[in-house]
Chain A
Amino acid sequence: ETGVTQTPRHLVMGMTNKKSLKCEQHLGHNAMYWYKQSAKKPLELMFVYSLEERVENNSVPSRFSPECPNSSHLFLHLHTLQPEDSALYLCASSQLAGRGEQFFGPGTRLTVL
Chain B
Amino acid sequence: GIQVEQSPPDLILQEGANSTLRCNFSDSVNNLQWFHQNPWGQLINLFYIPSGTKQNGRLSATTVATERYSLLYISSSQTTDSGVYFCAVCQTGANNLFFGTGTRLTVIP
A residues with a Cβ closer than 8 A to B are: 31, 33, 37, 42-45, 48, 50, 55-56, 88, 90, 92, 97-104, 106-107, 109
Given contacts A37-B41, A101-B45, A104-B42, A42 and B33 within 8 Å (CB-CB): no
Contacts A42-B100, A99-B31 given; 8 further ones with Cβ under 8 A? Answer: A42-B102, A43-B88, A44-B99, A92-B97, A100-B48, A101-B31, A101-B33, A104-B35
Chain B residues with CB under 8 A of A88: 41
Q: What are 10 inter-chain pairs, A to B, with CB distance below 8 A?
A: A44-B99, A45-B96, A45-B98, A88-B41, A98-B94, A100-B31, A101-B31, A102-B88, A104-B35, A104-B43
Chain A residues with CB under 8 A of B42: 104, 106-107
Docked Cα-Cα span, A27 to B31, in Å, equals 19
B residues with a Cβ closer than 8 A to A are: 30-31, 33, 35, 40-43, 45, 48, 86, 88, 90, 93-102
| Residue among A98, A101, A107 with most chain B CB within 10 A | A98
Chain B residue at minimum C-beta to C-beta distance from A105: B42
| Residue among B31, B43, B45, B98 with most chain A CB within 10 A | B43
Docked Cα-Cα span, A92 to B48, in Å, equals 15
Chain A residue at minimum C-beta to C-beta distance from B42: A106
Chain A residues with CB under 8 A of B45: 101, 103-104
Chain A residues with CB under 8 A of B101: 42
Cβ A56 vs Cβ B95 within 8 A: yes
Given contacts A106-B41, A106-B42, A48 and B97 within 8 Å (CB-CB): no
